[in-house]
Structure 1
């Protein structure tokens, strides 16, 4: 079985002490193994969060995207410096929380850019990521480069672009992070990107095309699950869904979460967990039958 995770924004838009307990306890009650915390404008009690994770026997992954004012793909050295500081903070917090994965749009701003990436910006992003790969490796943290759509990055919009960056970084501790919501916009299908990544796929986000209940949109989940099974993916699969019913004032606006797609987080979470478990189970069975018949 894969480790199944859920994004904290299903439960709460902040991470105060009360919200920390709600997020972690609710994730456990819904049947998940891991909770993913966004480190956008983090306000949390690190020690309390670690205690809660241990109390409920939950794993943790952390994520974030940079802002245009703290962007390592900028041509402005001060902006790059601020971006590096944000990434260092995220790596440190991940380690302090007992996690071993820090992912997201680490390579630039999570924003709609007014133009294409410049060569100087590309160079700055690459050099900064090389530094961060070394910092993360020293703390035992894997970095995940999340591939997102054109309205949230002008840099990595497809798996092949992410793999090209990995080739240049040549850092074993940096992996590709795929998200079905973004793949539905940018990729030609849900099979080839997964096959291209192979063992370099380090983390997966499962999200519907409308950000709501799985199965209510246009994403071909059976094909995606078959692709994961075919490469023997054993990593984390995290459910991600956003609604205006739960608001994080930084992240929700950046992601354009304007509509109320659901209000019952527990019902949504339990449905998603069963959907993913059934989908991966069926895909593995089909893969095993295929392998047996070809033997």
Structure 2
């Protein structure tokens, strides 16, 4: 069964001790199994204490980042690529030290709008460099999950099919897809078909509405998505992600253009999301049971 998670920025963008403890408590209160933490700086956080706090609440943890321009591993500039490798390796260690096994996000290139197309060389540089990081991450018990995002946040990987090709180029067995309904809704010809095509290579999954607010109030076809997840037997982590100008993070809010206040009561938002995901998956499972049952007379 999938662990159902929530992104920490639903609660707070702060990494001080009090805020992190409250984030963990609120995640548990809203019924989630996992907390996703983004851009956590180990130099400002007592990592052993946080790891214990997560474990004490019986929560799973995932870490997500987006590489900065000065740490783009697809760059032809050696120093830039090396900075990116250092960022990734330190974040792998952070994931391990917090008791997690998944590093997700835009790990393959810089996070942000690009004004030119990627090249074959940048693709190969990124794939081969990430494969080397992935091999070290495997020894730490951590998988790398590359987030496929829309064209306004990256120029390298915008569809699940591109992500699959990238993984093939890398040759790594420790790189997986991090798919996200918000981005898929923009880029994929058919989100459900893309999920089915990527079956077996999805390591992490973000659920977010088309406007990043309350689930079910946008344009995403949730029935098709839940049906596809059940059909492919996806049983890995599913994390709810939602952003509002109510909570601002300097590293993420501007890059993802979070200008509107889509919610104020984050507990109401979170509890609604948990119910929405549970009902969506349960309904899809019941449908699958109906269409696969033989219902033979006398059975």
Query: How does the TM-score come out when normalised to structure 1?
Result: 0.97
Match of 1:90 in 2: 91
Contact 1:40 1:250 in 2 (8 A): no
Which whole-Å CA distance do the structure 2 matches of 1:246 and 1:212 have between them?
A: 13
Matched residue of 1:209: which SS?
coil
Match in the other structure for 1:27? 27
Contact kept, 8 Å, 2:131 with 2:175, in 1: the verdict is no
Unaligned runs of 5+ in 2: none
Q: Which blocks of at least 5 consecutive residues in structure 1 are unaligned?
A: none
Alignment of 1:123-138 (within 5 A): 123-138=124-139
Asked if 1:102 corresponds to 2:103, the answer is yes
Distance 1:40 1:69 in 2: 18
Is residue 2:188 matched to residue 1:187?
yes
Equivalent residue, structure 1, for 2:17:
17
Residue 119 of structure 1: CA displacement? 2.7
Please list, as runs of the form range in 1=range in 2, the aligned pairs for 1:101-120 lying within 5 A after superposition. Answer: 101-120=102-121
The Cα shift of 1:294 comes to 9.5
Q: Which moved more, 1:31-40 or 1:210-219?
A: 31-40
Change (3 A) 1:254 1:163: same
| Number of positions where the alignment pairs a residue of Structure 1 with one of Structure 2 | 295
Query: 2: CA distance between counterparts of 1:128 and 1:46?
Result: 27
User: How far apart, CA to CA, are the structure 2 residues paired with 1:171 and 1:76?
Assistant: 23
Which digits, 9 at most, give the CA deviation of each residue in 1:37-56, with x for residues without a partner?
01265632211211111221
CA RMSD between the two structures = 1.4
1:44-83 residue CA offsets vs partner (Å, 9 max, x unmatched) = 2211211111221111000101011110111211111111
Tell me, in whole angstroms, the C-alpha distance in 1 between the residues paired with 2:58 and 2:174: 25
SS at match of 1:251: coil
- Kindly indicate whether the alpha-carbon contact (under 8 Å) linking 2:124 and 2:169 is maintained by their aligned counterparts in 1: no
TM-superposition CA deviations, 1:152-210 (whole Å, max 9, x none): 11111000000001112222221111100000000012211111111111111000000
Please list, as runs of the form range in 1=range in 2, the aligned pairs for 1:21-170 lying within 5 A after superposition: 21-39=21-39, 43-170=44-171
